[in-house]
Amino acid sequence: MINTFVGNLGHLMTIVAFVSALVTAYAYVQYFRANEIEKASWRRFSRISFYIHTASTVMIAFSLFEIIYNHRYEYFYAYSHSSKALPVHYMISSFWEGQEGAFILWAFWNVILGVILIQTNKFWEAPVMVVFALVQAFLISMIMGVVIGDLKIGSSPFMLLRDATQAPIFQLNPDFVPEDGTGLNPLLQNIWMVIHPPTLFLGYASTLVPFAFLIGGLVTKKYSEWIRPALPWAIFSAMILGMGIIMGAYWAYVTLNFGGYWNWDPVENAVYVPWLILVASIHTMITFKKSATALKTSIVLVILSFILVLYATFLVRSGVLGDASVHSFTDLGLSGQLLIYMLFFLVIAVFLAARAWKHIPTSEKEASVYSREFWIFLGAVTLGLMAFQVILPTSIPAWNALVESFGGISNMAPPANQVEFYTKFQLWFAVAIALLTSVGQFFWWQKIDKKALKDALVTPYIVSVLISAAIIVLAKVYDWKYIIIVLAGTFTIVANAVILMKILKKSTFKLAGGSLAHIGLGLILIGIMFSSGYSDVISINMSGLTYSNSWEDEMNKEHVLLWINKPTQMKDYTVIYRGRQKKVVGVNEYVPAKLLESTGKVNEAIALADFKDHFKKGDVVKIVLEENDYFKIDYLQNETLKFSLSPMSQFNAGMGGLISSPDSKIYLNKDLYTYVAAMNDSEDPEWKEDETYEATPGEQFYIADFVTYFDGAEVLKEVDGYQLQEGDIAVKAKLRILDYDVEKSIEPTFIIRNNQIGKLPVIDTELGIKVSLENILPEQNKFVFKVNQYQKDYVVMKAIVKPYINVLWIGTIIMLIGFTVAIFRRFDEFQKMRDKGLE
Amino acid sequence: MKKGHIIGLGIIAIAIVIIMTSIGDASSYENFKTAWEMKEGGEDKSIHVVGQLKKDATGQVTGLEVREDKTSFTFLLIDNEGTEQKVFYNEPVPADFQRSEQVVVIGSYREKEIFVADKILMKCPSKYQETDVKAAGM
């Protein structure tokens, strides 16, 4: 029976949330304008209105989760994003797999932030909350799903399946509820999908806070005071957004087979660019607090970072990127709405800023080369140029769409080799940033002239040159470009470490945020240089065979074909593919797939043999995501097993093919990264024609190139899965088949009942053979076997060594710690001022 | 000249360099005819060609030849102008390849007979368009 209650509840809450957002905006405007007598009551009303909005937003989220959690497949969202086999934490991922869920997540973070701002601010509450409420109205409108005439506003996640699709089944039975959903995209069945999107969306949501303070400042003519409350939030936002980006990169690295952590994909770029601008704005805001310069730049950057987040959302979710991105988002018809959302705030911000422009205080005096303002400004400019260089080509599809909407034709395409294209610029910008941070930090902490600067820099310079020389020699960095990166990175680390030491000696840890973040940056730079620049594909085909004797052989084959059990040489290793494995609930290691046979129920199998102490033959076991195959790849050196990797792959017809997830051997100084690029499809084998063999017990012969021993036959008293009757004769032939170092026992059975012959053939999917005992010729003491071949199991895989990738991860962690320290310091400053009643 | 002006000019100069290289390095959407003309004209840049896999009367993809070591393959692509072209791709066959409705190849001509793709983008029938609820549901 269809449950329409939850959907209606969700839908109702969406409307309540939308209306209450508008009411809140109106009420806060009134509160802001009201005189002293009425102020208190307007404030109460505004807050109640916002709390109603908060409650309804939470209820929207609750309703959607209820639908997914209780497997209500009558709803399109649950049907298309989840399935019964999903454990609870992946149901959470299902929640935000769809775009509607992502918008709900975003709105959810906004209300949380809104509540915190109401609690922590006095003066700023009204103007800030007006902006918040308006943003919320736009966000909620994305999931409204209201159709007025031809106009469709939003796409509701509470739509019933029968309304969303035109499946013929619904004409026969409108109350039809599918048994199961189509499942969560397997790529997203990963712990990172549970935590990455909320982090990223919190980052997105929090860019609103500095923007709202700025708009508040412009409206209330407090052109510079908004900086103090906005600053800790800007740093918070940069920290969370940065963390979201890194999680995304790490996720891509550990579960997606893109071959790396960063690919300059449009969707990645769309988050990277606002982050750069946000970081630039933090720096100019800090400069302003210290020396009353760079206010206008700060205003522009804060507006830009907020608008760029909306622009990123537009690019990613409007479908305009089309086939330019590996992250595919379907066009839900929201592009117009997203565009209005973005333009609305852009126009308002530009209008308010332009109106206030000539009243905004600027510093008349020219910044000296020996002032921190100068260096920080250069840094902000470099960050801005970095962002510009990325956003420009990323916008090519949007540009094409724009030209086409005016009837023109544009056949521009994004650069063919994105990694090479972006790296070419970003690398040198990053080197410039690294050098600026080290010099800038010295200016930051003391007034300095030419001579003092020289004295301050000379020691770190010498130390870093020495360290760099050691790195270059030990790690064999001989490319001049990479040498420069090592130098710049080390200099950043050393110079900032010197500053850090001084700070710690003189004052508190609270001031250490900046230098910590910059040390992180230096480490990140060096880590990226090594892991990407010296990334080494070791799965180069070294079979020595040429296949076509043409130019094709000149091309590097970066994959190797591994037949099961066959040792293959790969750089320093001998690798052997050992077969498929499954994950079983309660077993802390992979279980060979050949020991398990599906019971027909989801994620359930029966054990065909004992497996260590974990289960016995005949036990029913639970499988973790049965579609997943883990391919056991043994790595050997000098004929001893060093380690095994188990990259995952699943053949998922619904999602369009092979879904792979790498597995890495992690060393302190490098990762060995392995993933499956193609595999044998043994689902529905096309058996080749019959081959017949005759053998006497004890004989050795060949079955399809395999050395086979016929050890004899045995009369059976009972047969698995078969009821023997009085007078039946059952005979089992014992064959041993050798495949390299593996010995397999294959035992086909032959049953005679009332002169009828029954054959129980044995299929070995690993070897790709089917063997049946066809006949027994007692006079000749011969057994007749019929063999059909298919294909031996294989994988095509790629293996890459990524040196010093841990330096990158350590660098990001240090940078995030630096941000966190800075948040506490700036929030503390704000609180002190607020409690003095100044703000 | 004030420092501000120098910085301003520097920014403008770098911005122009960025814009020019972006335009210069940007690829373009072509068909096989124009792509071959570019190649003959000495232009070796990687370009995008949008097309569909060649299918026989029963809707099966034809002309897919996988190399013996399974690490590369060739296939026949028909661009939007109807030109048929053999394309080589130095990677294993992506699993969803044969199901794709549209294929974008990014690469260049090696010789008239063979277009070498450095990268392939596929557009697969989206699950959102799935009308066959039965298959998954019952």
Tell me the sheet residues that pair with A660: A649
Question: What secondary structure, in 3-state letters, does B32-89 show?
Answer: HHHHHHHHHCCCCCCEEEEEEECECCCCCECCCEECCCCCCEEEEEEECCCCEEEEEE
DSSP type of residue A758 = E
CB contact under 8 A, A167 and B131: yes
Least reliable range by pLDDT among A322-331, B87-96, B114-123? A322-331
Q: Which two tokens stand for residue A584?
A: 């079983």
Who among A412, A658, A678 is closest to B28 (CB)?
Answer: A412
Who among B96, B128, B134 is closest to A656 (CB)?
Answer: B96
**CB contacts, 8 Å: B45 with chain A:** 416
* Contact indicator for A11, A64 with CB cutoff of 8 Å: no
Test mutation, B61, B71, B122, chain A, max A CBs within 10 A: B71
φ, ψ of residue A314 to 5 degrees: the values are -60, -50
Q: A631: which residues sit within 8 A by CB, 6+ positions away?
A: A577, A579, A580, A581, A646, A647, A648, A649, A676, A679, A795, A797
Query: To the nearest whole angstrom, how far is the Cα of B57 from the nearest Cα of chain A?
Result: 22
Query: To the nearest whole angstrom, how far is the Cα of A785 from the nearest Cα of chain B?
Result: 30
**CB contacts, 8 Å: A677 with chain B:** 91-92
**CA A248 to chain CA centroid, nearest Å:** 4
Picking from B19, B92, B2, B111, the residue whose alpha carbon sits closest to that of residue A561 is B92
Nearest residue in chain B measured CA to CA from A556: B90
How many contacts does A have with B, using Cβ atoms within 8 A?
A: 157
* Contact indicator for A642, A573 with CB cutoff of 8 Å: yes
**CB contacts, 8 Å: A80 with chain B:** 127-128, 130
Picking from A260, A555, A404, the residue whose alpha carbon sits closest to that of residue B110 is A555
Picking from A312, A377, A93, A353, the residue whose alpha carbon sits closest to that of residue A223 is A353
**CB contacts, 8 Å: B72 with chain A:** 552, 555, 557
**CB contacts, 8 Å: A556 with chain B:** 90
Residues of chain A with pLDDT under 50: none
* Contact indicator for A659, A652 with CB cutoff of 8 Å: yes
Task: Flag whether pLDDT at B138 surpasses 50.
Answer: no
Total Cβ atoms within 10 A of residue B65: 11
Query: To the nearest whole angstrom, how far is the Cα of A232 from the nearest Cα of chain B?
Result: 29
**CB contacts, 8 Å: B93 with chain A:** 678
Q: Which two tokens stand for residue A137?
A: 């109205």
**CB contacts, 8 Å: B19 with chain A:** 392
**CB contacts, 8 Å: A389 with chain B:** 18, 22
CB contact under 8 A, B88 and A552: yes
Q: Nearest 5 degrees, angle CA A552-CA A554-CA A555?
A: 70
How far is Cα B90 from Cα B71, in angstroms, rounded to an integer?
A: 7
Q: Please tell me the number of Cα atoms within 13 Å of B135 on its side-chain side.
A: 7
pLDDT for residue B24 = 82
pLDDT for residue B131 = 36
Given the cut 0.85, state whether the ipTM is greater than it. no
How far is Cα B46 from Cα A288, in angstroms, rounded to an integer?
A: 47
CB contact under 8 A, B95 and A425: no
Task: Flag whether pLDDT at B135 surpasses 50.
Answer: no
* Contact indicator for A546, A520 with CB cutoff of 8 Å: no
Q: Which two tokens stand for residue A223?
A: 């052109």
DSSP type of residue B27 = E
How far is Cα A530 from Cα A524, in angstroms, rounded to an integer?
A: 10
CA distance to A6, A73, A179, A182, per residue, from A1 (Å)? 13, 11, 12, 19
Rounded to a whole number of angstroms, the distance between the first and last alpha carbons of chain A is: 57
Q: How does pLDDT run across B4-38, given as a tens digit for each residue?
A: 778 888 888 888 888 888 888 888 888 899 889 88
pLDDT for residue A324 = 58
Helix (H, G, I), strand (E, B) or coil at A293: coil
Query: What predicted TM-score, i.e. pTM, was given to this entire model?
Result: 0.88
How far is Cα A50 from Cα A134, in angstroms, rounded to an integer?
A: 11
* Contact indicator for A102, A190 with CB cutoff of 8 Å: no
CB contact under 8 A, B18 and A385: yes
Who among B7, B47, B70 is closest to A381 (CB)?
Answer: B7
Helix (H, G, I), strand (E, B) or coil at A744: strand
Query: To the nearest whole angstrom, how far is the Cα of A612 from the nearest Cα of chain B?
Result: 35
Q: Please tell me the number of Cα atoms within 13 Å of A351 on its side-chain side.
A: 7
Task: Let me know how long chain B is.
Answer: 138
How far is Cα A491 from Cα A498, in angstroms, rounded to an integer?
A: 11
CA distance to A212, A468, A732, per residue, from A28 (Å)? 13, 58, 85
pLDDT for residue A231 = 93
Picking from B112, B113, B114, B111, the residue whose alpha carbon sits closest to that of residue B90 is B114
Test mutation, A100, A388, A676, chain B, max B CBs within 10 A: A388
How far is Cα A528 from Cα A521, in angstroms, rounded to an integer?
A: 10
Nearest residue in chain A measured CA to CA from B116: A552
Q: How does pLDDT run across A472-501, given as a tens digit for each residue?
A: 999 888 889 999 999 999 999 999 998 898
DSSP type of residue A121 = -
CB contact under 8 A, A392 and B138: no
Who among A415, A651, A654 is closest to B26 (CB)?
Answer: A415
**CB contacts, 8 Å: B48 with chain A:** 413, 416
